[in-house]
Amino acid sequence: MQPTWLGNTLSGLVAIGAAVGLGIAINKGGVPVAGALIALPPAIAYVLFCIMRPVIGMWTYIHCSFFINGLGRLLETEAPFGLAIDGLLLLTLLGMWLSTDRADDRPSNSVNTAVFYLVLAWFLYTLLELLNPETRSREAWFYAVRGVSLYWIQVVVIVLKLVNDRTQIDRFVRVWLGWSIVAALWGFKQQYVGLVHGEIMWLESGAKKTHVLFGHLRSFSFYSDAGQFGAAMAHVSLFAILKALEEPKLTRKLIYAGLAVFYFWGFAIAGSRGPLFVLAVGIIMYLFLKKNVLILTIGIVIGGGAFGLLKYTTVGQGNYQVQRIRSALDPNDPSLQVRLENQQKLAAYLKTRPLGGGIGSGGDWGRRFSPGTFLAETALDSWYVKIWVESGVVGLSVHLLTLVIMGIIGFIQVARLRDPTLKSTMTGLYCGFVGVAAASYGNQVFGQSPSNTVLYVSIALFCTCGRFDSPPVAEAKNRPVYKPIYAA
């Protein structure tokens, strides 16, 4: 019985010592330490779950990308919540590598696809930018490259390996639509009810000059800013419009039409002009995908009429949101003129720098890590101007070529689909990509959450959508099994 008594005594002493240690730690660190200690066990459990089932990490990342940028503003803290995205992606990739479930090793879940190699080529180029002699800060490269290429290649790999059936595609769409409803509601609350204290402080710290114009608030919801909120609302509004057009059941058609109007008003209260082109270009691409001359003609007439009302009339001019949207079509708009002047200055600077100034040399990261430099103090505005400035004309060419080839692959893949339900979803995702790619000339939409998450997932899906296809029931009885073409 002696060992048992000794063991119990030692266990008691360890427990007492641990309790004393915890008490001292909590006394020294206060509530934050106590909260961290309480959160530690569930955090460890979550990590283990992600390693055993990496799909949990994927869905956590998708959910978090919608609110992570505005979380610090709402909680009134400067905690680096954005780094949680890095942790979730790495944890998911680690789980995929260590997982004993080899269901994701089936041929249809191979990363050996054209879209993977396209993103890989862009990522490798940005990696080589570390050697750019113009780079002022390697630390800035580390922070900036995440939104430029690192998240992109990680998400593509994760989606190709883990999204293996249609139910997951439907779930992704529901998550996107659901969070967009919440974001729009919060934007309406900001516009018509008021702001919370953290949001007011954020405006007063410098954002007010771009988010309160002529006494009107540009709603930003819980996204990074009003520009991103407007772009995200225009993007999801386009998807809802196309689903409403494609949906055969009247009830679902009306639901999607209602959502489209709801999201569009969210876009309007953001006061963002550039995202108007998400809708315009996306709908034009949809008309071409339909390959129906009558529908294309009707669409062009309706679109031309809407353009004419905005461009050549004053209809609705008494509404501030309509004024903001109409100004996007004014070539003499002061904001546009300033952007063009900045681009002329940048062109002269980059004339002898074909590799650009280095990833992270411009924008917020430039002002943080290399303040006072020309690139850090010159507004970039456009996503493509950002790529041009930081990776040079060579990098811009690689990036644009990547997007164009993806667009071609996506067009072919979506056009080949025979399942009507899948085709309507992929059409919405593809046209959204084309619309955002066009609108990114005026805003840095492509690399910001949550638009980048939706785009990265969409690209991985519509470029390989043949693997999810099945022929209509009437055809399936008389035709051999369809073998989709999606690999490189």
218-277: pLDDT as tens digits: 999 999 888 899 999 999 999 999 999 888 899 999 999 999 999 999 998 988 877 888
Q: Give the mean pLDDT of 351-359.
A: 89
What's the CA gap between 406 and 432, in Å, rounded? 13
- Which of residues 288 and 303 earns the better pLDDT score? 288
Tell me how crowded residue 181 is: count the other CB atoms within 10 A of its CB: 15
Q: Tell me the one-letter amino acid at 311.
A: K
| Three-class DSSP category at 213 | strand
pLDDT at 483: 44
- Which of residues 311 and 411 earns the better pLDDT score? 411
The DSSP secondary-structure symbol of 331 reads T
- What percent of the chain is modeled with pLDDT above 90? 43
Whether residue 41 is preceded by a cis peptide bond, meaning omega within 30 degrees of 0, is no
Q: Which two tokens stand for residue 272?
A: 């963002």
Q: pLDDT tens, 222-231?
A: 998 888 999 9
Q: Which two tokens stand for residue 391?
A: 């990776």
pLDDT for residue 293 is more than 70: no
What's the CA gap between 203 and 210, in Å, rounded? 9
pLDDT for residue 5 is more than 60: no
Please report how many Cα atoms fall inside a 13 Å half-sphere around the Cα of residue 165, on the Cβ side: 4
Q: Which residues contact 38 (CB under 8 A, 6 or more apart)?
A: none
Q: How far is CA 14 from CA 26, 40, 377, in A?
A: 18, 19, 58
CA-based nearest residue to 461, from 437, 435, 430, 484 = 430
Q: How far is CA 252 from the centre of its chain?
A: 26
pLDDT at 191: 93
- What percent of the chain is modeled with pLDDT above 70? 76
User: Quick check: 391 and 126 in contact, CB under 8 A?
Assistant: yes
Residue 474 binned pLDDT confidence (cut-offs 50, 70, 90): very low
Q: pLDDT tens, 104-138?
A: 555 556 788 999 999 999 999 999 999 988 888 88
Q: pLDDT tens, 439-464?
A: 888 788 888 889 999 999 999 999 99
CA torsion 451-456-458-463 (nearest 10°) is: 150
Tell me how crowded residue 121 is: count the other CB atoms within 10 A of its CB: 16
User: Quick check: 324 and 271 in contact, CB under 8 A?
Assistant: yes
pLDDT at 195: 92
Q: pLDDT tens, 315-349?
A: 555 555 555 555 555 555 556 566 777 788 888 88
Q: Which residues contact 149 (CB under 8 A, 6 or more apart)?
A: 119, 122, 123, 125, 126
Q: Give the mean pLDDT of 135-162.
A: 91
pLDDT for residue 85 is more than 70: yes
What's the CA gap between 130 and 124, in Å, rounded? 10
Q: pLDDT tens, 420-443?
A: 999 999 999 999 999 999 988 878
What's the CA gap between 151 and 413, in Å, rounded? 24
Q: Give the mean pLDDT of 48-67.
A: 91
CA-based nearest residue to 375, from 400, 342, 337 = 342
Q: How far is CA 190 from the centre of its chain?
A: 22
Q: Give the mean pLDDT of 147-158.
A: 95
pLDDT for residue 202 is more than 50: yes
What are residue 113's DSSP bridge partners?
Answer: 487
Tell me how crowded residue 407 is: count the other CB atoms within 10 A of its CB: 18
What's the CA gap between 109 and 90, in Å, rounded? 19
| Three-class DSSP category at 111 | coil
pLDDT for residue 480 is more than 90: no
Q: What angle do helix axes 420-439 and 451-462 make, rounded to 10 degrees?
A: 130
| Buried-state track 447-459, b at ≥16 Cβ within 10 A, e below 16 | bbbbbbbbbbbbb
User: Quick check: 431 and 282 in contact, CB under 8 A?
Assistant: yes
pLDDT at 435: 94
Q: Which two tokens stand for residue 130?
A: 């570390």
CA-based nearest residue to 400, from 389, 388, 382, 417 = 388
Q: What angle do helix axes 420-439 and 166-192 make, rounded to 10 degrees?
A: 50
Q: Tell me the one-letter amino acid at 94.
A: L
Tell me how crowded residue 155 is: count the other CB atoms within 10 A of its CB: 24
| Three-class DSSP category at 357 | coil
